[in-house]
């Protein structure tokens, strides 16, 4: 006896897949194709497809996976386990987000709107066919109570395990006399864009110029609008495993403040650290900005009064709307520097206030243009935005170079940096070095190699301008430092392991000689290096000694006495990579079975917490 089956076809911009299971499958007449329309129907339920839309009526609804960054009902937003969006025919949320059912279970949706409001690539519809004659709104409510939890929380949708989804649906519904129809709609063109961007991004968590050109070509050929492109890009970036863990932790902190009116200083500090960590891990800031927009909202303003630099920025941008052209010109020459400094300050503090001001200004420009029929104001605003885009590009490139040992400087990248520096120097000859170079060199998370790369690059740029060096020479110098950094990490990792294997004290010269030989042989076998510079070996050894001293002597003392400044003094003067030490601390606390909340205390992110036996730090 036939229990279930599936078939699929294409219409308009979509491929559709239909999964049917349950009672009397073999006896149902449910499909009809007439010209440009396809109908599926059974016992008062119907779903029709045309070239550009879907129509429905009866008992059922639609569902899809939530894309990262889309607006959700607050009740879904605060529940980590809710993965999917579910809409029942005839049901809607009122102003208080209470679910209201009606007997009007008929409607339609354009495919363009369906894939814009739902998932950009795949969306599902369903209906339940039965002899039940209950009032529609009561029947819909009963179905929601039965299968709602499954459809909102299952990960089978994300994994495209559609047959298993149908099976689970039928099992949970538990209506032996009913038949379930599940319809899956896949947008072919959006899928091409999503897949191309995902595959390109997965390589190095960034796109090469060739990748960008290929993805852009898909968007142009298929006329995919900019908003839809951005939705898919953000979703892909979020779902990359290396990004997701950090972003989810950031989200969880914000969710912990969901019912508060303000953000505590400790919570803000934890968010700030995750933002800092994201720079090293090349995690796009837009992922955090998106969460801030949904979950932080005005809490930052309640906890921290808007600073003077933001108020000044509002005043400067307000000049765009003056009718006197001489006032507008003033923005282009003098106040643009203040705006760039304001953007830098906001970026350094992870304050989205400046971006909100730009958004407000853009909206005001739009309203002004529509009312006055004068669109020149957009050109003036765009000229300002160009500087902010330059700022973002330079900051991103230099931060990756400083904090990522996998980031390589190229001649094209250096050429763009030279061009951007010229533009900033034309405004203020000290601006570039102040907001980019000096800021990075004083960042407490930059390690010795990152600092060396930035100093070498800065000096190299000046040499190029003077004609004392070529692009190739500067790139080569920075490459040499990057190679030194990679070799150092290899030496330290192998040295740490070999010391364990040899059970050799760190100050025994004979034992270290054997270890040096073993490391050299291992690196040669790996094709990494033929020679180990004495300076790098000695640095790796000294760093391991310092790390050992910290873990076995200094850290226990800090925990016992609560002397937090002692930790900060050690990190500032030991020369060790702060990111690395924080990872080592995490392992230490896990091995000791300490509450992870103590780590936040160590970093000054939380109020003092008691640690076993009445001790406090």
Please state the three-class secondary structure of 3-23 as a single string: CEEEEEEEECCEEEEEEEEEC
| pLDDT level of residue 614 (50, 70, 90 thresholds) | very low
Q: At residue 5, what are phi and psi to the nearest 5 degrees?
A: -160, 170
Can you give the pLDDT at residue 612?
Answer: 31
Pick from 589, 272, 584, 271: which is nearest to 598 by CA? 589
| Structure tokens belonging to residue 584 | 């080592």
pLDDT, average across residues 96-106: 87
Q: Which residues contact 84 (CB under 8 A, 6 or more apart)?
A: 63, 64, 65, 66, 151, 152, 153, 154, 157
Is 568's pLDDT higher than 80?
yes
Is 508's pLDDT higher than 80?
no
C-alpha to C-alpha distance for 291 and 252, rounded to whole angstroms: 10
Can you give the pLDDT at residue 259?
Answer: 73
Q: What digits encode the pLDDT tens for the residues 235-278?
A: 998 888 888 888 888 888 888 777 777 776 557 766 776 776 67
> In whole angstroms, how far apart are CA 456 and each of 406, 417, 443, 482?
17, 14, 17, 11
Cβ atoms < 10 Å from Cβ of 607:
9
Can you give the pLDDT at residue 88?
Answer: 94
Task: Give the sign of the dihedral formed by CA 137, CA 142, CA 145, CA 146.
Answer: negative
Is 1's pLDDT higher than 60?
no
C-alpha to C-alpha distance for 252 and 303, rounded to whole angstroms: 19
> In whole angstroms, how far apart are CA 488 and each of 146, 338, 481, 537?
58, 41, 10, 8
Is 311's pLDDT higher than 90?
no
178-192: b or e for each residue (b if 16 or more CB lie within 10 Å)? Answer: bbbbbbbbbbebbbb
| Structure tokens belonging to residue 515 | 């270890």
| pLDDT level of residue 84 (50, 70, 90 thresholds) | very high
**Better pLDDT: 307 or 481:** 481
Q: Parallel, antiparallel, or unpaired: how do β-strands 4-11 and 615-616 relate? A: unpaired
Is 300's pLDDT higher than 80?
no
Is 473's pLDDT higher than 90?
yes
Q: At residue 614, what are phi and psi to the nearest 5 degrees?
A: 80, 0
The answer to whether residue 590 is domain-embedded is: yes
Tell me which residue range forms the domain holding 78. 4-191
| pLDDT level of residue 497 (50, 70, 90 thresholds) | confident
| Structure tokens belonging to residue 38 | 């396809």
pLDDT, average across residues 297-313: 68
Pick from 404, 358, 399: which is nearest to 382 by CA? 358
| pLDDT level of residue 602 (50, 70, 90 thresholds) | low
Pick from 532, 548, 447: which is nearest to 488 by CA? 532
**What's the Rg (C-alpha) of the chain?**
30
Instruction: Report the residue count for the chain.
Output: 617
Are 178 and 130 a contacting pair, CB within 8 Å?
yes
Inter-helix orientation angle 411-427/448-466, to 10°: 70
pLDDT, average across residues 395-412: 88
Are 488 and 580 a contacting pair, CB within 8 Å?
no
Domains in the chain, number: 2
Can you give the pLDDT at residue 599?
Answer: 66
Cβ atoms < 10 Å from Cβ of 336:
19
Collapsing DSSP to helix, strand or coil, 507 comes out as coil
Query: Among 245-259, 432-446, 481-495, whose mean pLDDT is lowest?
Result: 245-259
Q: Parallel, antiparallel, or unpaired: how do β-strands 60-65 and 122-129 relate? A: antiparallel
| Structure tokens belonging to residue 284 | 């796009």
> In whole angstroms, how far apart are CA 448 and each of 406, 483, 603?
16, 14, 21
Can you give the pLDDT at residue 146?
Answer: 95
> In whole angstroms, how far apart are CA 591 and each of 498, 543, 586, 596?
21, 21, 9, 11
Q: What digits encode the pLDDT tens for the residues 50-67?
A: 999 999 999 999 999 999
pLDDT, average across residues 128-153: 92
Q: How many H-runs (helices) and E-runs (strands) does the chain carry?
A: 27, 15
The answer to whether residue 273 is domain-embedded is: no
Instruction: Indicate yes or no: pTM above 0.95.
Output: no
Averaging pLDDT over each range in 22-36, 179-193, 307-321, which range is the top one?
Answer: 179-193
**Better pLDDT: 319 or 611:** 319
| pLDDT level of residue 3 (50, 70, 90 thresholds) | low
The answer to whether residue 331 is domain-embedded is: no
- H helix runs in 21-105, sequence order: 74-77
| pLDDT level of residue 394 (50, 70, 90 thresholds) | very high
C-alpha to C-alpha distance for 540 and 574, rounded to whole angstroms: 13
The answer to whether residue 390 is domain-embedded is: no
Q: Of 168, 191, 214, which marks where a domain is finished?
A: 191
Can you give the pLDDT at residue 425?
Answer: 92
| pLDDT level of residue 113 (50, 70, 90 thresholds) | very high
Q: Of 133, 158, 191, which marks where a domain is finished?
A: 191
Q: Of 166, 191, 216, which marks where a domain is finished?
A: 191
> In whole angstroms, how far apart are CA 30 and each of 5, 20, 27?
13, 10, 9
**Over pLDDT 90: what percentage of the chain?**
37
Is 334's pLDDT higher than 50?
yes
**For all residues of the chain together, what is the average pLDDT?**
82
Can you give the pLDDT at residue 34?
Answer: 75
Q: What DSSP string runs through 540-601? A: HHHHHHHHHHIIIIIHHHHHHH--HHHHHHHHHHH---HHHHHHHHHHHHHHHT--THHHHH
**Better pLDDT: 3 or 105:** 105
| Structure tokens belonging to residue 234 | 């953000």
Can you give the pLDDT at residue 537?
Answer: 83
Are 417 and 405 a contacting pair, CB within 8 Å?
no
Can you give the pLDDT at residue 266?
Answer: 56
Can you give the pLDDT at residue 172?
Answer: 95
**Better pLDDT: 540 or 190:** 190
List the beta bridge partners of residue 31.
40
HSE of 288, CA atoms in CB hemisphere, 13 A: 26
Q: What digits encode the pLDDT tens for the residues 531-560?
A: 778 888 888 888 888 988 888 888 888 888
Is 609's pLDDT higher than 70?
no
Is 17's pLDDT higher than 90?
yes
The answer to whether residue 548 is domain-embedded is: yes
C-alpha to C-alpha distance for 109 and 488, rounded to whole angstroms: 59
Query: Among 196-200, 212-216, 342-346, 582-586, whose mean pLDDT is lowest?
Result: 582-586
Are 17 and 162 a contacting pair, CB within 8 Å?
yes
| Structure tokens belonging to residue 610 | 């008691």
pLDDT, average across residues 379-404: 88
The answer to whether residue 213 is domain-embedded is: no
The answer to whether residue 563 is domain-embedded is: yes
The answer to whether residue 584 is domain-embedded is: yes
pLDDT, average across residues 358-370: 80
């Amino acid at each position: 006896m036939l229990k279930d089956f599936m078939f699929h076809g294409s219409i308009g911009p979509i491929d559709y897949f239909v999964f049917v299971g349950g009672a009397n499958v073999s006896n149902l007449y449910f499909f009809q194709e007439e010209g440009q329309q396809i109908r599926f129907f059974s016992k008062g339920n119907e779903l029709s497809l045309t070239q550009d839309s879907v129509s429905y009526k009866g008992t059922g609804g639609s569902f899809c996976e939530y894309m990262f960054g889309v607006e959700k009902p607050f009740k879904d937003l605060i529940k980590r386990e809710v993965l999917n969006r579910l809409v029942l025919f005839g049901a809607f949320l009122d102003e208080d987000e209470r679910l209201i059912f009606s007997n009007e279970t008929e409607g339609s949706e354009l495919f363009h709107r369906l894939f814009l409001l739902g998932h950009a690539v795949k969306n599902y519809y369903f209906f339940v066919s039965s002899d039940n004659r209950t009032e529609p709104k009561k029947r819909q409510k009963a179905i929601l109570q039965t299968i709602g939890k499954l459809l909102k929380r299952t990960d089978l949708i994300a994994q495209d395990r559609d047959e298993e989804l149908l099976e689970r649906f039928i099992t949970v519904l538990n209506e032996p006399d009913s038949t379930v129809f599940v319809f899956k709609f896949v947008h072919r063109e959006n899928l091409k864009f999503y897949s191309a961007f995902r595959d390109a991004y997965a390589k190095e968590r960034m796109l090469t110029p060739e990748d960008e050109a290929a993805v852009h070509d898909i968007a142009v050929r298929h006329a995919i609008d900019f908003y839809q492109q951005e939705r898919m890009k953000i979703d892909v970036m979020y779902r990359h495993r290396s990004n997701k863990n950090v972003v989810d932790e950031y989200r969880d902190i914000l969710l912990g403040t969901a019912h508060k009116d303000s953000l505590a200083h400790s919570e803000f500090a934890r968010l700030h650290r995750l933002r800092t960590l994201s720079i090293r891990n090349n995690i796009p800031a837009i992922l955090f900005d998106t969460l801030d927009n949904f979950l932080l909202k005005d809490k930052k303003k309640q906890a921290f009064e808007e600073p003077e630099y933001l108020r000044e920025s509002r005043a400067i941008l307000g000049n765009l709307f003056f009718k006197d052209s001489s006032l507008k010109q003033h923005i282009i020459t003098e106040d643009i520097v203040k705006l760039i400094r304001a953007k830098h300050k906001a970026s350094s503090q992870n304050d989205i206030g400046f971006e909100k001001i730009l958004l407000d200004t853009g909206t005001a420009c739009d309203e002004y243009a529509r009312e006055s029929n004068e669109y020149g104001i957009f050109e003036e605003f765009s000229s300002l935005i160009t500087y902010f885009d330059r700022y973002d590009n330079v900051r991103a490139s230099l931060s990756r170079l400083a904090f990522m040992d996998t980031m390589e400087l190229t001649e094209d990248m250096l050429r763009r940096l030279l061009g951007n520096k010229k533009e900033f120097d034309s405004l203020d000859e000290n601006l570039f070095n102040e907001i980019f170079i000096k800021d990075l060199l004083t960042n407490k998370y930059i390690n010795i190699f990152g600092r060396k790369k930035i100093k070498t690059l800065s000096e190299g740029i000046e040499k190029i301008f003077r004609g004392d060096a070529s692009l190739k020479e500067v790139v080569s110098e920075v490459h040499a430092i990057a190679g030194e950094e990679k070799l150092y990490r290899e030496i330290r990792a192998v040295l740490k392991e070999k010391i364990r294997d040899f059970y050799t004290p760190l100050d025994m010269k004979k034992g270290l000689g054997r270890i040096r030989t073993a490391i050299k042989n291992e690196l040669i076998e790996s094709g990494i290096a033929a020679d180990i510079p004495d300076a790098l070996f000695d640095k790796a050894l000294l760093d391991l000694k310092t790390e050992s001293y910290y873990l076995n002597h200094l850290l226990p003392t800090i925990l016992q006495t609560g002397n937090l400044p002692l930790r900060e003094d050690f990190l500032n003067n030991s020369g060790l990579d702060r990111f690395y030490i924080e990872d080592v601390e995490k392992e230490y606390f896990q091995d000791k079975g300490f509450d992870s909340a103590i780590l936040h205390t160590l970093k000054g992110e939380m109020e003092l917490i008691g640690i076993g036996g009445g001790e406090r730090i």
